[in-house]
Amino acid sequence: MTSLFFCVINLAVLAQVTKTASAVHSDHHYQPTWDSIDGRPLPSWYDDAKFGIFIHWGVFSVPSFGSEWFWWHWQGKNMTEYVKFMKDNYKPGYTYADFGPHFTAEFFDANQWTELLKSSGARYVVLTSKHHEGYTLWPSKVSFNWNAVDIGPKRDLVGKQTFRLI
């Protein structure tokens, strides 16, 4: 069974963030340096909100070991604890892509999760809908069939849904 992380995207808030960011920064050009990036002001709504939730949810939820960086720690870094976890729990030759069909999102009920997050006092939710390993939670035309519509849930987990926490 897929390990679940609460996953809701607040499109109204994200639209406001984009609108605010565009208005505030339309004439400012950031440089590819930490000083430049760290010098950007926080939007007032963000500072006023006080409590929000960032969610990482995807194929890496299937092994439910470590973090959303599971693939990198296992395959990229060959970290001992990840290699051992795979050896102890999966057959030889098991690949990261083999986890894809097991990411089913079977308990994903956006309305129920929205109510839960709203009742927690969260004023915004940010969903990481594509992670570094390339799997997207929507039917991306550039993800080479590595997405939630083609593999796993067989549905778009972020599109055609609008949730309001505020």
pLDDT value, residue 130:
93
Number of domains into which the chain is organized: 1
Residue 162, domain extent = 1-18+52-166
CATH number reported for the structural domain that contains residue 111 in this entry: 3.20.20.80
DSSP letters, 35-57, are HHHHTSPPPHHHHHH--EEEEE-
Give me the chain's average pLDDT, please: 83
Residues in the chain with pLDDT values less than 70: 1-27, 160-166
C-alpha to C-alpha distance for 163 and 127, rounded to whole angstroms: 12
Q: Locate tokens 């609460």: which residue?
A: 6
In a domain, 29, yes or no: no
What torsion do the CA atoms of 43, 113, 127, 62 make, to the nearest 10 degrees?
Answer: 160
pLDDT value, residue 4:
31
pLDDT value, residue 61:
96
pLDDT value, residue 6:
33
Q: Which of 64, 83, 63 is nearest to 73 (CA)?
A: 83
Question: H/E element holding 125?
Answer: strand 124-128
In a domain, 28, yes or no: no
pLDDT value, residue 27:
64
In a domain, 25, yes or no: no
